[in-house]
Structure 1
């Protein structure tokens, strides 16, 4: 099922390629005069390795001849779709150790892979193709990425033996992801020199007949020629819309020069109008409001005024009183925490806790402190029940303090349930410490 799906990929890529071409036919009248189709041929070095990192299954990889063909549709000066095909062979062995002297102990000593076919659809982006004063550049740097399908046959050898078929000599088909960089040089109006390098990431670990829990990859460094097709005299890929914008700017400048005399006449009229309005714009005290509209003339220099020329009223800054908490204040709170008791599984405060709570209320009234109450429980019972109980106990303490005259707006009550223990819940003593209400003055 997987192979049948992959075999349909080239047809899908071709359909997408042709569909994009149809959509781009009527971009503009000028684009129709430029060549947008091209074909390329290339040859270069195929290597079963990537300089970008990753494990190599063989310590001695070899470079072999590869060759390719592509057809490209240029959609904009900076973006195109390219259908690539590459063939060749990939080879490697363990005749030499890895860098660092490590010897490859694999039972497979050598391999040879015949890349029967490799087809991919790639998006190509021109990274550099701008020259301000030339409508057509002579150098392009580009990047490409895409997806496709590769079919290959693998032969492997063990020890010093001869190469034998891997996978019963069947052609293996795998998804590939090619990523590349390149440079083009225009050698004629319709011919380009194309230099590039592509790393192909294979969706499988069978390219060399050895499994090492990592997908294989191979590189293709190439050089070739690209030929523009169609009736267009120039190539859209070399077309520079920035230069056309520059031409339009020059034409706009000529139009502006033609209107210069009218502008000069308008400036003279404006100068006359300003002279006639000098009395209306007079500002004796220099506050930015003319004398005609200034309701507070004679404002001292530097004073900020409103629209009527009168000084703005600056609000008196509010001085925030600094809160100072003493050790004696903390002892009052600590005593209240120490003596605070509730009825079992209830939020009712026992009477023995009243005297120390009364002293906390007096402290809040006298010094206008703020107080945060945080209720906590042990892990006995459900989490929801403990959350409600801790909140209820904190609120019960808050209600009592407010009843004694404390400012309700300065007391905050929060319940945390069993979420913040200060001791182990595995012992009775630990659970007793966790059943608490914490007081925080500020």
Structure 2
């Protein structure tokens, strides 16, 4: 028994090492082929090799119904070639060799004690049904459980050893051929691109009771084979193995790609719409600039040469105010009286251009008159002949400017007031008397 276990361990190690050697990538990419593709898009042929343990003990029934109730495990090995028809169904041609041995449960002084059967060959054609080949969490297959059912022929040489040491070989010349039915289950683990680890268990029903060279009872003999092996897909590595292919996942992948592509088109259209909206907004902004009339004068800003024209102002084609028609100003007697009173009450500090406070009320009335009627006013300053000509001219000019400054401070339009100094050049009385010089020291107001 220990020897058989060592053999089995050695065989298992060899198969696993071989699997690691041939496996190219244990994390292959998604098993995708466009849905409804032709068979040529896949690898549908494969070959496999395997090794394992042979025994007459099976999962069907107990050893009490066996001819020899103490089976001894032996090494078996085989190979196969497989054609995958659909992802879930394939046909497999199997070959198997090995050896079966066993002994009686309770040694007897007479009769058969043990048997040994050489399985020279076994060939069968089996239908393989893949139960699942997709891991939805990772969107690719990793483990494919399967069931198999078939039929074929087996050739074997059984020998029985009796209690006295004699041996008996069953059949003509020790070679028996019988029909048998292999029934199996197992699963395959994807090791890489086109390489699978095959773990399986098979019960083989022989159509006779002579597998152990001993006919006992009415039941046919059977034996089991537990194996581990490697399967290699044939064909281009660029194509997926049909047994590992899941059409539902491919349709799902196709749908997701189409949805992603459609979303990309929608996003691109949104970006294009945003760009068009930006261009339209910029165009509208430019049009708004061309059609904006900020001051409401009827001339667009782009052509308005005189922006910010006061509301209600009539303008020309360039937005500039039209010249106002000249309006005649009439000076009434009352207006003249206001001016005469201001002249009468006007006083300056001696030798200076400082207006005395006594003059303010009458000058205020003149300022109001200028603002109300938009009059123009000419101020002419005069002096007597006391002092130098230069001093008198400067003093007369300063006094006229002082009056203008006062009136402008009260609100009069500065552009309508003219201030001029004439000095002593335009006397209205003699400078030889004090009364005459008093008359010559004056500022004349002229409304127009």
TM-score range, shorter chain: 0.3 to 0.5
Higher Cα radius of gyration: 2
TM-score, normalised by the number of residues in structure 1:
0.48
